[in-house]
Amino acid sequence: MTDSTMQLYMEQISAIPMLSKEEEFLLAQKCAAGDQEAIRHMVAANLRLVVAIAKGYSDSGVPLLDLIQGGSLGLLYAAKGFDPSLGFRFSTYATKWIRSGVLKCIEENGRLIQVSQRIAEKMRKIQRARAALEEPTVEAIAEACDMDVAQVEEVLSVPEVCSL
């Protein structure tokens, strides 16, 4: 995606007004009843959240537009399954599904060999610890990641083509 395309997309989604808590609650009730127009409105009003989450994974090697698309699918799933009677905001619920959609996109497009989402998350955690540590020994990484040394060694044994 070119910078101008991304800028245009951001301008378009920025023009969609954010929902107040009351508007969100009423819209969520309609979404729960299966109202397709309400679902479209809920998704459109929360696309900025998708972009914000997708940008956090922009170093994954997958194009940002693909990450946004995966996150948007997660947002759509969230809009269809949100229960407003639980008392929390839609964005709190949707974040889990958006992140799941982004991670699924990375898993499907980001490497030659598929690994489970659990292993991929451990790989990312280990990579962050490696980058933050001055001397990234297996023991230091394990401590930083709150993992056993054996777990770290297992994840590090995954071939490089699987790295993020």
Q: Give tens-digit pLDDT for 123-142.
A: 888 888 888 888 888 899 99
User: Distance (Å, rounded) from C-alpha 31 to C-alpha 38?
Assistant: 5
Question: For residue 20, what are its two tokens?
Answer: 């107040």
Closest listed residue to residue 74, CA positions, set 38, 110, 47: 47
Region at 126 (left for phi over 0; alpha for psi -120 to 50; beta for the rest) = alpha
CA pseudo-torsion sign 129, 134, 138, 139: negative
Instruction: Say what percent of the chain tops pLDDT 90.
Output: 35
Contact 128, 66 (CB under 8 A): no
Distance of CA 57 to the CA centre of its chain: 7
Confidence category of residue 113, pLDDT binned at 50, 70, 90: low
Question: For residue 47, what are its two tokens?
Answer: 């696309």
Closest listed residue to residue 100, CA positions, set 62, 124, 73: 73
Indicate yes or no: pTM above 0.85.
no
